[in-house]
Amino acid sequence: MTRGARTPEELETLLEDTFIVRDSSALALLFEDAAVLAAGSGIPEARGRDEIAGAATAMWERERTYVADPRRVLQAGDTVLSFGRGINVLRRGPDRAWRYAIAVIDPEELEMTEER
């Protein structure tokens, strides 16, 4: 998996993909080094890629998954505010790839995975 995305909308899709395959390493690479993830539902706020990977693992242990649904994307230069299943701030890095700087996922929007 690449580090980041070509467009803000693609970043949302890549996040969903990492949730589906439960790849915490790939998920962490979608975030800036000092990014913040707030997911609620008893999951502590995560800062930095390692903590974010851990928060994702905690969500998977609770059988939660993320489904991309960007409803509104507001772009100002290399910064984006995205509204969907949460509110996210994305930035385009020097390598031109988009990554999450701040991700606030609404815990009510985290979907239960089907029983295995």
Residue 1 in this model has a pLDDT that exceeds 50: no
Which of the 8 DSSP states describes residue 5? B
* 25 is a domain residue: yes
* 93 is a domain residue: yes
pLDDT at 112: 52
Mean pLDDT of 73-82: 96
* 115 is a domain residue: no
* 1 is a domain residue: no
Quick: pLDDT tens for 44-71.
Answer: 899 999 999 999 999 888 888 788 888 8
Alpha carbon distance 74, 115 (integer Å): 36
* 85 is a domain residue: yes
Alpha carbon distance 73, 84 (integer Å): 9
* 21 is a domain residue: yes
Query: What CATH number is associated with residue 80?
Result: 3.10.450.50
Distances (CA, A) of 12 to 20, 57, 89: 13, 18, 11
Residue 115 in this model has a pLDDT that exceeds 50: no
* 113 is a domain residue: no
Split into its structural domains, the chain has a count of 1
Mean pLDDT of 79-87: 90
CA quadruple 97, 98, 99, 103: dihedral, nearest 10 = 180
pTM score: 0.87
Name the residue range of residue 33's domain. Answer: 8-107
39 in Cβ contact with 110 (< 8 Å): yes
Quick: pLDDT tens for 14-40.
Answer: 999 999 999 999 999 999 999 999 987
* 112 is a domain residue: no
Residue 87 in this model has a pLDDT that exceeds 50: yes
**E strand or H helix that includes residue 25:** helix 24-28
Residue 109 in this model has a pLDDT that exceeds 60: no
* Residue 92 backbone dihedrals phi, psi, to 5 degrees: -95, 125
